Amino acid sequence: MDFSFNEEQQLLQETARRYALTRLAPEMPRWQTESFAPEILKELGDLGVLGMRIPTEYGGSEASYVTMGIAAEELARGDFNVSYFLQLSAISAKLLTNADEQIKQQWLPAIAAGQSTVAFALTEPSVGSDAANLSCTARKDGSDWVINGEKSSITFGGSAQGCVVFCRTGGPGARGISMVFVPLDLPGVSRTKYSSAGGHLSERGSLFFDDVRVPADHQIGEEGTGFIGAMEAFDFNRAIIALAAIGTASQSLDETIEYTKQRETFGKPLATREGVAFQIAEHLALLHATRLLSYEVLARADAGLPHTAEAAMCKWLGPKQSVEAIHACLLLHGWTGYGTDLPFVQRLNDVIGLEIGDGTPEIMKAIIAREAFGRGFNSYK
């Protein structure tokens, strides 16, 4: 098994880390009160990280999943929330591959260039992890789909220009769900933004569809295949989430190592105290193990191998281990770590959000158990 990155990936790693620490990190506090600057989104497009999973004919690079993981991990060292743009661009690329050619030509180059963002609208107020029971509907009316319903907790719900909406077009259960692409400037679309402790840059919110009409050719893939599309997108993205969390935690540990080497108590650096150094050593080991698992998931995705169980493992472990590491770094900095002049509180709040989003720890464990014991022993139906 080869754990090394090739020369091109090493260059990306160095470039993305330099950009993250010199450009993204200094700006991170701004996004607590301001919307993300369009010029930075364009810079991400110019850097090539938004088009990594988009075909070359639509302005992307068709990079590997492993390469995308490198970009997510390194950029998150500067601002964890920037990884949302990578996640949604890759999910959009995967889903829109099955869209009408006109939609691909209009939207994929704009996503790659940082000119447009596309949301993924699956969750509803009463339907989160139980996604097969969603109630948002799309009915045929002549040559149009007419969409009605509410989607909640949607990343970029407050800012996206387009959205892949998962709708009930048939009977009950997963087989009645289809995907429809909806430009969010259409009549009948409205939205609200949430106020959260972290993740402000993601502009998470609700989308409301009131008799929204889109042409029938805005259906993505075959009717009734929406649930499968959603689940396939979740698998690889769970590893991307884990790596972004690990990048943020790793930067926090690097900063804390330097701090404890300089900060003295009772005449000695904090780093000489086993109670301090062993904490950091433990978090370094746990993050390293989870990082390798995450890259294994992406390597399996690149090879076309099953990776559902492994993806659930790293989605559970990545945010969990990262939250614990960042929390330790905050405490080791004392009261200054708890203040807003240092980034630990914001990082902690940001990463906690993805202990919830894209699958809670309980659901991840249920998926791992299902894959181990078989679907006949599923803990949920």
Complete domains list, the chain, with CATH = 7-116 (1.10.540.10), 119-223 (2.40.110.10), 227-377 (1.20.140.10)
- Average pLDDT, stretch 40-53? 96
Residue (of 359, 152, 126, 323) closest to 244 by Cα position = 323
Specify the pLDDT at position 133. 87
Specify the pLDDT at position 120. 93
Contact of 185 with 213, CB cutoff 8 Å: no
**Band of residue 234 on the pLDDT scale cut at 50, 70, 90:** confident
Count of beta carbons in the 10 Å neighbourhood of residue 158 = 18
Residue 164 has φ and ψ, to the nearest 5°, of: -90, 115
Contact of 196 with 232, CB cutoff 8 Å: no
Cα Rg, the chain, nearest whole Å: 21
Specify the pLDDT at position 33. 87
Is residue 52 over pLDDT 80?
yes
Is residue 381 over pLDDT 60?
no
Global pTM? 0.95
- Average pLDDT, stretch 328-346? 97
User: How do residues 74-116 score in pLDDT, each as one tens digit?
Assistant: 999 999 999 999 999 999 999 998 999 999 999 999 999 999 9
Specify the pLDDT at position 380. 64
Specify the pLDDT at position 180. 96
Reduced 3-state DSSP string for 250-288:
HHHHHHHHHHHHHCEECCEEHHHCHHHHHHHHHHHHHHH
Contact of 300 with 306, CB cutoff 8 Å: yes
Pick the range with the lowest mean pLDDT from 34-43, 125-134, 259-268, 358-367.
125-134
Specify the pLDDT at position 379. 66
> What percent of the chain clears pLDDT 90, i.e. is strictly above it?
87
Query: Going by C-beta distance under 8 Å and a sequence separation of 6 or more, which residues neighbour residue 349?
Result: 197, 198, 199
